[in-house]
């Protein structure tokens, strides 16, 4: 990608208006999640699915073959089916993922602003809007020179976290001057996250009673990805084990499965839908399901688990499946993300409550800019 040269500084006034000249340096946090279509319709799903499933990180199939499958089979047939599923969970405010993400981002930005006034927050989506590019452009316009990228995926996978990194670095390839970067790969080992999920399960059980079994359902990835070195499977297992320990559960009390598989290739097992059927047939009557791979409730949790999964479980002989919501915009979620970013921002003045540049610095810089413009013979 060529570095952008679409706007050259040709005059003294333009030099004075360059963001890095006229605004104090700041730090920023780019909060990123997967994304959502703009409406629960086949028309809106097609471009969203094309962007999502067209990502080489998401589907590692030779491009010519995948192009034919995606455009000839998946988009024509999956878009209408997915639209019906989205319609089941869509609210008056819009997509649950977007609504809850915006609420979380708003609370998080308010907390950061009150504690760390020289740190900006922007929300972005890997697919759909607001895009990662738009979020980075916004932070650049605020003169963010130190940046933390926070993908909202507790566990790392090349299909999710690495895709965010790809898009961030692609944007940087087009910049002549980009910010210093720190990238949060995962946070499943953070004790505050483990405790927050355990506490949400404990609160649910205090209100609804304890189940016969607790199922940890994580989004699946192809088995081949694990064999190629993706750490996601191990991190999911670790996450479930640590949360179960905090709940004081015996090994027989809980189970791990993987949902949302696509295509005919083998994915991580056991599969959630088959597990639900097996549990129903085995005499499990009351089941609770939690999805600790998701920070925000979305189609995969609200429709696939709470609706479709419940149907499958009951049809197989179970009596009650209760879905335990994600952390969403809860105060504890805001707390742990704030602490996480403070940890990763150590050494940067903005994350220590110090102002990187005063107004005097900016005035001095503008004076120097004027002198430099004159020396360069800018009009």
Give the CATH number of the domain where residue 232 resides: 3.40.50.1400
Q: Which of 180, 248, 183, 243 is nearest to 216 (CA)?
A: 243
Q: What CA–CA distances, in Å, run from 101 to 8, 152, 211? A: 37, 10, 29
Is residue 223 included in any domain, yes or no?
yes
What backbone torsions phi and psi does residue 130 show, to the nearest 5 degrees? -75, 135
Selected residue with higher pLDDT from 280 and 10: 280
Domain that holds residue 294: 191-324
Number of domains in the chain: 2
311 in the same domain as 197: yes
Residue 371 lies in a domain: no
Task: Give the model confidence (pLDDT) of 122-164 as tens digits.
Answer: 999 999 999 999 999 999 999 999 999 999 999 999 999 999 9
Residues 226 and 182 in one domain: no
Predicted local confidence at residue 1, as pLDDT? 58
Measured over the CA atoms of residue 196, residue 197, residue 198 and residue 201, the dihedral's sign is positive
E-strand ranges in the chain read: 26-35, 119-127, 144-151, 180-183, 213-219, 254-259, 286-290, 320-324
In tens, the pLDDT along 204-213 reads 999 999 999 9
- 134, 253: one domain: no
37 and 114 share a domain? yes
Same structural domain, 86 and 16 = yes
pTM of the predicted model as reported, rounded to 2 decimal places: 0.94
Q: Looking at the structure, do residues 219 and 74 belong to the same domain, yes or no?
A: no
Q: Are residues 182 and 283 in the same domain?
A: no
Same-domain check for residues 217 and 110? no
Residues 157, 32 share a domain: yes
Same-domain pairing of 74 and 119: yes
Q: How far is residue 82's CA from residue 65's CA, in Å, rounded to a whole number? A: 23
Q: For 38-82, how does the pLDDT look when each residue is reduced to its tens digit (9 = 90+)? A: 999 999 999 999 999 999 999 999 999 999 999 999 999 999 999
Between these two residues, 160 and 367, which has the higher pLDDT value? 160
């Amino acid at each position: 990608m060529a570095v952008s040269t679409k706007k050259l500084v040709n005059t003294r006034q333009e030099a004075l208006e360059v963001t890095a000249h006229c605004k104090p340096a700041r730090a920023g946090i780019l909060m990123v999640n997967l994304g959502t279509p703009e409406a629960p319709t086949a028309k809106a799903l097609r471009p969203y699915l094309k962007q999502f499933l067209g990502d080489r990180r998401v589907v590692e199939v030779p491009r010519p073959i995948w192009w034919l499958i995606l455009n000839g089979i998946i988009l024509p047939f999956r878009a209408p089916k997915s639209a019906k599923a989205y319609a089941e969970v869509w609210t008056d405010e819009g997509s649950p993922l977007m609504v809850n993400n915006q609420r979380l981002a708003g609370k998080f930005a308010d907390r950061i602003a009150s504690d760390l006034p020289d740190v900006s927050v922007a929300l972005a989506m890997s697919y759909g809007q607001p895009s990662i590019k738009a979020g980075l452009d916004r932070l650049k316009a605020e003169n963010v020179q130190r940046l933390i990228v926070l993908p909202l995926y507790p566990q790392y996978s090349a299909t999710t976290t690495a895709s965010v990194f790809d898009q961030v670095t692609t944007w940087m390839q087009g910049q002549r001057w980009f910010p210093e970067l720190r990238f949060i790969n995962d946070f499943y080992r953070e004790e505050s996250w483990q405790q927050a999920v355990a506490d949400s399960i404990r609160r649910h059980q205090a209100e609804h009673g304890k189940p016969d079994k607790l199922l940890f359902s994580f989004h699946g990835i192809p088995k081949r990805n694990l064999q190629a070195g993706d750490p996601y499977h191990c991190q999911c297992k670790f996450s479930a084990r640590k949360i179960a320990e905090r709940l004081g559960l015996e090994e027989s009390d809980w189970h791990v499965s993987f949902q949302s598989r696509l295509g005919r290739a083998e994915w991580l097992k056991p599969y959630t839908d088959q597990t639900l059927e097996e549990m129903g047939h085995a005499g499990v009557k009351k089941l609770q399901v939690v999805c600790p791979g998701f920070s925000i409730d979305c189609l995969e949790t609200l429709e696939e688990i709470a609706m479709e999964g419940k149907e499958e479980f009951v049809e197989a002989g179970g009596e009650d499946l209760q879905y335990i919501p994600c952390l969403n915009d809860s105060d504890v979620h805001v707390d742990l993300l704030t602490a996480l970013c403070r940890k990763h921002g150590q050494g940067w003045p903005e994350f220590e409550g110090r102002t990187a540049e005063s107004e005097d610095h900016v005035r001095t810089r503008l004076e120097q800019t004027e002198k430099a413009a004159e020396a360069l013979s800018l009009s």
